Amino acid sequence: MRRDVYQAIADPTRRAIIALIAIQAMTPNAIAEHFDTSRQAVSKHLRILTECDLVKQEQVGREIYYLLEVKKMKEIDKWLEQFRKIWENGFSQLDDLLLTIKKEKK
């Protein structure tokens, strides 16, 4: 079953996991050390992220490492870009309005 990627990143714990493994690949135990939750809970989050193709597994010897799937993150960034332009335009308009108000007060 494929899960919705946006639903997956809506969870703050999963976003924190993504931030951790964006720096370096980590084992589930190493990831779990950063959270006040059970190893099983972290494994569930990792499973969801894997199902969404946000992370991938790589076996090194007997250990499994989780790595960020950059291609999928780029897809999310591309989708967010449309909103980024709207926000930046809104901030620019707000800056212009604040300058106008400041000039009128002088």
Check if the beta carbon of residue 31 is closer than 8 Å to that of residue 42: yes
Same-domain check for residues 57 and 78: no
**Partner residues linked to 14 by β-bridges:** none
Same-domain check for residues 63 and 14: yes
- ∠ CA 74-52-6, nearest 5°, is 65
Same-domain check for residues 45 and 85: no
Same-domain check for residues 52 and 104: no
Average pLDDT estimate for 75-104: 80
Amino acid (1-letter code) at residue 69: E
Check if the beta carbon of residue 48 is closer than 8 Å to that of residue 3: yes
Cα distance between residue 73 and residue 86, in whole Å: 20
Q: Please check the confidence at residue 50 and state whether its pLDDT lies above 90.
A: yes
Average pLDDT estimate for 5-10: 88
- pLDDT category at 2 given cuts 50, 70, 90 is low
Same-domain check for residues 61 and 76: no
Domain count of the chain? 2
The residue range of the domain holding 29 is 1-68
Same-domain check for residues 79 and 45: no
Same-domain check for residues 11 and 38: yes
**pTM to 2 decimals?**
0.73
Cα distance between residue 29 and residue 106, in whole Å: 61
